[in-house]
Amino acid sequence: MRSKRWMGIAALAAVILLGAGVVVASLGGADAKNATTSATMSAGRDLVMTPDMPSTPVALENTSSALPVPGMPSRVVKTATLALDVKRGRLDDVYSSVLGTVESVGGFVASSNQSKGRAQLTMRIPASRFESSIATLRAFGKVTNESVTGEDVTAQFVDLESRIRNLRTQEVVLLDLMRQARTIQDSIAVQSQLSGVTQQIEQLEGQRRLLDDQSGFGTLTLGLAVVGVAAADPSEPSTLSGAWSDATNAALAVIGGTLVVLGVLVPLAMIAAVIGVPVCLIMRRRNNRPLIPAPSI
């Protein structure tokens, strides 16, 4: 009887202990769950879900540091004028040296003029070698005059690029509308707009090419003069040209005088012909009339 009683007490104690364990376990699980949820929410502040992969978290980049923006190279139209005095007998050598220097840097001579004791060249030199080329040319003689100017056209170039890009977008849209046109009237309307956009693109691209050429190649005007040789006065022509001019003026004067005389004589001759011809005819008729003999008494 006692054994049965102790067995009942033991079973009751076991049931109580089991219930307490379940309660403790549930409370611990809730705390762990809350801790996990809190950690997840904290970590979620630094995560973002990608649109195409909703189940894959991706770390959000730090946007406080701005990415470096690549700078566009500046475009400057460079122009320079350089005058040099060279020694006697060295003009041809210096002229050839200048041509070689320009060709060695990838430039070219746009125009040149050479006369007695003087020469002038207009050259196009790559902008990246412009200053160094001027420094090289200075050594060919004594510098008597020098000027260098530069005009920054970067803003103009960027503006042209932006306008061309926008017009290209309009061109694509109009071409798509042209393909979708159902009537001839719609096609004509779209074609008219497309022609205007195309014309604007061509004009802007021409301006861009001009700026690109002017900024890509600087213009250098070089003057060479032999020391002691006076410059020819363009107002004083040479002897041969003066003689030719005098002969031409004399011939024109003779022709002009002849025309004046003819202008006076021709009207007088016409008037004389109008009056004289009838008079001559009348006189001839009178002379040809037969004489009537006088009657005898």
**Per-residue CA distances from 203 to 168, 213, 223 (Å):** 13, 15, 36
Answer yes or no: are the C-beta atoms of 238 and 116 closer than 8 Å. Answer: no
For 257-286, the pLDDT digits (tens) are 777 667 767 777 777 777 777 777 777 776
Burial class (CB in 10 A: 0-12, 13-18, 19+), 221: middle
Please state, in angstroms and rounded to a whole number, the distance separating the CA atoms of residues 12 and 203.
Answer: 101
pLDDT number for residue 89: 86
Please state, in angstroms and rounded to a whole number, the distance separating the CA atoms of residues 286 and 280.
Answer: 10
Mean pLDDT lowest among 58-67, 79-88, 177-186: 58-67
Give the H/E segment covering residue 150: strand 142-152
pTM score, whole prediction: 0.49
